[in-house]
């Protein structure tokens, strides 16, 4: 089964999006929509285009054709006009509505944990320091790092750095939070603490979440919908229980057998 009903008022919508890297077509006439508050996980083989979807959403990658709608803002790229690149104004709008947690944390190394979390709300949203700090203190408590607010990233474990990165993304109060393999760079013993924070977020908040992960058990626990990606297409999607216990597409079965 490749089709999922399109939500009436999606917060994310790709319609006929084509993305090429030189001669390589990664997404071909790609359609995909996510409802507000939905938690959707993209799984699939390496190189199938999962991260590219997130990077296009975050405007980190231009695309060649199609329409992208994000939090009510639409971007259309007509065929044959080169690659869509967002204007400065678009970039600002996107970055206010969408947060992204990367594999490699990407914290500012010269800033304390607290400063990492308050920086964007102050600079981008114009929040007063006292308000941004209040927000940051709450979020650092939520990710279990209240006692590390004056530390620098180099003084933290990878798992702690990633939890700061999650707090930093949440400090912007985004409508959509993207996770690109958030535990891939971590030592195995640190994976659980990061997944725990994301799991609580997924279960306790109405934030829209789109995740790329190789952690299948985690995908099963947190997702409303799992999409199996194969060669730039969603070969199969559905509720996690069904996808993991009774996959219909041969490629999904083959993939799950190789990773479970």
Ligand X SMILES: Nc1ncnc2c1ncn2[C@@H]1O[C@H](COP(=O)(O)OP(=O)(O)OP(=O)(O)O)[C@@H](O)[C@H]1O
Q: Is 258 in the site for ligand X (CB under 6 A)?
A: no
**x/- string (CB under 6 A) for ligand X, residues 222-251?**
------------------------------
Rounded to whole angstroms, the Cα distance separating 123 from 121 reads 6
Cβ atoms < 10 Å from Cβ of 3: 9
CA–CA dist 103, 89 (Å, integer): 27
Of 23 and 188, nearer to ligand X (C-beta) is 23
Distance CA(74)–CA(137), nearest Å, equals 34
CB of 119 to ligand X, least distance (A): 27
- Could you report how far apart the first and last alpha carbons of the chain are, in Å? 21
Residues 34-63 touching ligand X, rule: CB under 6 A, are 44, 46-52
Q: For the segment 187-226, give every residue that binds ligand X (CB under 6 A).
A: 212
Which lies closer to ligand X via its Cβ, residue 57 or residue 156?
57
C-alpha distances in angstroms, 143 versus 137, 172, 186? Answer: 10, 15, 17
The dihedrals phi and psi of 157, each to the nearest 5 degrees, come to -75, 165
List CB contacts of 71: < 8 A, sequence separation 6 or more.
11, 93, 97, 98, 175, 176
Report in angstroms how near the CB of residue 147 gets to ligand X at its nearest. Answer: 34
Map residues 6-25 to x or -, x wherever contact with ligand X holds by CB under 6 A: ---------------x--x-
Give the number of residues in contact with ligand X, rule: CB under 6 A. Answer: 12
Residues that bind ligand X (CB under 6 A): 21, 24, 26, 44, 46-52, 212
């Amino acid at each position: 089964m490749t089709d999922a009903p399109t939500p009436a008022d999606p917060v994310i919508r790709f319609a006929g999006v084509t993305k090429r890297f030189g001669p390589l077509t990664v997404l071909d006439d790609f359609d995909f929509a996510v409802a507000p508050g939905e938690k959707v996980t993209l799984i699939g083989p390496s190189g199938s285009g999962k991260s590219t979807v997130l990077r296009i959403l975050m405007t980190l990658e231009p695309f060649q054709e199609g329409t992208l709608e994000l939090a009510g803002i639409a971007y259309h790229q007509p065929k044959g006009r080169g690659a869509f690149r967002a204007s400065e104004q678009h970039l600002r709008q996107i970055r206010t509505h969408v947060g992204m947690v990367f594999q490699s944390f990407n914290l500012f190394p010269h800033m304390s944990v607290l400063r990492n979390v308050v920086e964007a709300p102050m600079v981008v949203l114009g929040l007063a320091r006292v308000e941004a700090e209040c927000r940051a203190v709450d979020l650092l408590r939520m990710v279990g790092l209240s006692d590390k607010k004056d530390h620098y990233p180099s003084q933290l474990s990878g798992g702690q750095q990633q939890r700061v990165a999650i707090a930093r993304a949440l400090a912007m109060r985004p409508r959509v939070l993207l996770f690109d393999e958030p535990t891939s760079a971590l030592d195995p013993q640190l994976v659980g603490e990061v997944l725990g924070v994301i799991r609580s977020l997924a279960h306790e908040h109405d934030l829209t979440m789109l995740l790329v992960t190789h952690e299948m058990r985690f995908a099963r626990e947190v997702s409303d919908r799992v999409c199996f990606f194969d060669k730039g297409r969603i070969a199969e999607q559905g509720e996690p229980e069904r996808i993991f216990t009774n996959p219909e597409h041969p490629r999904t079965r083959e993939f799950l057998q190789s990773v479970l």
